[in-house]
């Protein structure tokens, strides 16, 4: 069974995303694009995931609750959770690890929290993307406590990528995956960092606008499953 996915998408909660990246618009675009699975991964927050789950239910698309967490080293990690409940519990823990700097919407963009009808129910007042107090090791450990698959985001990018920040792909934490935005960069990176040959490579859009959400080009092959989300997370965690 081929499952087409996009596991890195931002909603209007992320200040760098378009305001029309609402939960229902994202779910609708995933359906139109022909994706079976889509993950919502806002910066350091899961607060639009409840609405996103309801929106995906209407479209018969499998949702994954996620977060793009910024470590103390300013590295972005994708954290994907086995359930909405585990994601929201993780969200509360990350709240305690954030530096609370007031957002300037006119500079960085609005951080909009929505309900299942795409009605605005609030705004995140403090800037989301800045670094947390969690080291890369502590972030991985905390995400693992909540059953998440956690791995470095967009390793082919200079900004907030693990390779550009550390100059290497570390042995610890024991990441099983790595994300590329442009898979054509893999061979070049693997020559320089042979450890990548031991990792599952995830290709996702890092979409900040509706038109950036992936077409059905990236997929996993699974046996038929009644719980696609669980099967996917088990695969990413090497189970």
pLDDT in tens, 174-218: 999 999 999 899 999 999 999 999 999 999 999 999 999 999 999
Selection from 47, 205, 76 nearest residue 140 by Cα: 76
Structural domain spans, the chain: 2-236
How far does CA 215 lie from the centroid of its chain?
17
Selection from 68, 69, 67, 64 nearest residue 27 by Cα: 64
Residue 30 pLDDT more than 90?
A: yes
How far apart are alpha carbons 44 and 127 in whole angstroms?
A: 10
> Is the bond into 19 cis (omega within 30 degrees of 0)?
no
φ, ψ for residue 88 (rounded to 5)? -70, -30
How far apart are alpha carbons 129 and 163 in whole angstroms?
A: 19
15-38 average pLDDT score: 97
CATH number belonging to domain 2-236: 3.20.20.140
How far apart are alpha carbons 118 and 20 in whole angstroms?
A: 10
- Token pair for residue 143? 């995400």
Q: Which helix (H) or strand (E) holds 180?
A: strand 177-180
Give percent of the chain above pLDDT 70.
Answer: 100
Q: Return the number of other C-beta atoms located less than 10 Å from residue 116's C-beta.
A: 15
The pLDDT value recorded for residue 235 is: 87
pLDDT in tens, 31-77: 999 999 999 999 999 999 999 999 999 999 999 999 999 999 999 99
Residue 137 pLDDT more than 80?
A: yes
**Hey, which residues does 40 pair with through a beta bridge?**
9, 65
Residue 221 pLDDT more than 90?
A: no
Q: Which helix (H) or strand (E) holds 95?
A: helix 84-95
């Amino acid at each position: 069974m081929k499952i087409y996915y996009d596991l890195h998408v931002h909603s209007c909660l992320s200040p760098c995303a378009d305001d029309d990246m609402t939960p229902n618009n994202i779910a609708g675009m995933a359906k139109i694009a022909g994706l079976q699975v889509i993950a919502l991964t806002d910066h350091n927050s899961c607060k639009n995931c409840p609405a996103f789950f309801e929106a995906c239910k209407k479209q018969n698309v499998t949702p994954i609750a996620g977060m793009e967490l910024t470590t103390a080293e300013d590295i972005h990690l994708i954290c994907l959770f086995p359930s909405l409940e585990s994601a929201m519990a993780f969200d509360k823990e990350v709240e305690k690890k954030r530096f609370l700097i007031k957002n300037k919407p006119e500079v960085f963009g609005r951080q909009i929290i929505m309900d299942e009808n795409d009605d605005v129910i609030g705004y995140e007042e403090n800037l989301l993307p800045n670094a947390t107090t969690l080291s890369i090791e502590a972030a991985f450990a905390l995400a693992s406590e909540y059953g998440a698959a956690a791995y470095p985001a967009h390793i082919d990018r200079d900004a907030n990528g693990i390779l550009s920040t550390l100059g290497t792909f570390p042995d610890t934490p024991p990441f099983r995956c790595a994300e590329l935005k442009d898979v054509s960069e893999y061979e070049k990176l693997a020559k320089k960092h042979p450890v990548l040959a031991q990792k599952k490579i995830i290709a996702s859009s890092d979409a900040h606008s509706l038109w950036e959400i992936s077409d059905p080009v990236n997929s996993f092959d699974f046996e038929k499953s009644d719980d696609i989300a669980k099967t996917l997370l088990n695969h990413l965690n090497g189970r």
